[in-house]
């Protein structure tokens, strides 16, 4: 059954109209920030590959064990990106009620990602400590560091997402303008791409 399109809440000021100058400035700042993060994560992946493929301390192919929970966290992050994408569309249509639901779903999936990622990190740390006296200890440490860095950026993305969600349910006037929702969506899509790239490299080189 197709979802009936929700009429825009034209009489509500919950979704502030586009502020062209402020929206363009914030978008430019976000894009520059994402560009710097792209260079950082790109260099980190290259460094990981160099150590994985050339270092004598790296374990042989097929001997890099990764927690199975990373598959679950990957799915949860993709669900978060999908939900925030739909929320972005709802914000463009000024569909207030749908926006609340999709922002709430985005926040819940993001929190679930963190909840699943924490025990995976603890498992990587445990394996790293065991492998310190053997070959491959440094590689497990680098894998752990990359996953931690990405998780910290996810935590950073949870703050504006939570602020938008709580503002939506609190009906604060103008608190969830469309450019804020769109900027939050862009950041989460970036986190998706980075994680898929990281996890893909981990799997290919494992």
* Average confidence score pLDDT of the chain: 80
Count up the domains in the chain and report the number: 1
Record the tokens describing residue 169, joined without a space.
Answer: 């349910």
DSSP state of 51: H
**Is 150 among the domain residues?**
yes
d(CA 123, CA 143): 12
**Is 12 among the domain residues?**
no
- In the structure, what pLDDT confidence band is assigned to residue 24 with cuts at 50, 70 and 90? low
**Is 129 among the domain residues?**
yes
**Is 193 among the domain residues?**
yes
Domain range enclosing 169: 21-56+68-205
Cα-based torsion angle of the residue sequence 166, 171, 175, 179 in order, rounded to the nearest 10 degrees: 90
**Span 80-99, pLDDT tens digits:** 999 999 999 988 887 778 88
pLDDT of residue 61: 61
**Is 8 among the domain residues?**
no
**Is 83 among the domain residues?**
yes
Give the percent of the chain with pLDDT over 90.
Answer: 37
**Is 138 among the domain residues?**
yes
**Span 42-51, pLDDT tens digits:** 999 998 888 7
**Is 167 among the domain residues?**
yes
Higher pLDDT, 55 or 110: 110
CATH number at residue 143: 1.20.120.80
């Amino acid at each position: 059954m197709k979802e009936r399109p929700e009429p825009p809440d034209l009489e509500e000021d919950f979704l502030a109209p586009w502020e062209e100058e402020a929206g363009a400035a914030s978008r430019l700042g976000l894009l520059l920030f994402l560009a710097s993060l792209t260079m950082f994560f790109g260099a980190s992946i290259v460094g990981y590959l160099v150590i994985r493929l050339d270092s004598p301390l790296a374990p042989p192919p097929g001997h890099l064990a990764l927690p199975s929970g990373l598959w679950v966290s990957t799915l949860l992050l993709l669900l978060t990106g999908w939900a925030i994408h739909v929320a972005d569309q709802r914000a463009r249509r000024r569909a207030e009620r749908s926006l609340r639901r999709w922002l709430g779903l985005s926040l819940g999936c993001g929190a679930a990602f963190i909840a699943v990622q924490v025990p995976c990190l603890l498992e990587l740390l445990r394996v790293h400590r065991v492998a310190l006296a053997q070959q491959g200890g440094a590689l497990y440490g680098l894998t752990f560091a990359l996953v931690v860095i990405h998780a910290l950026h996810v935590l950073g993305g949870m703050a504006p997402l939570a602020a938008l969600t709580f503002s939506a349910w609190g009906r604060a006037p103008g608190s969830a303008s469309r450019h804020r929702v769109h900027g939050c969506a862009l950041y989460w899509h970036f986190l998706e791409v980075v994680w898929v790239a990281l996890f893909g490299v981990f799997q290919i080189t494992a």
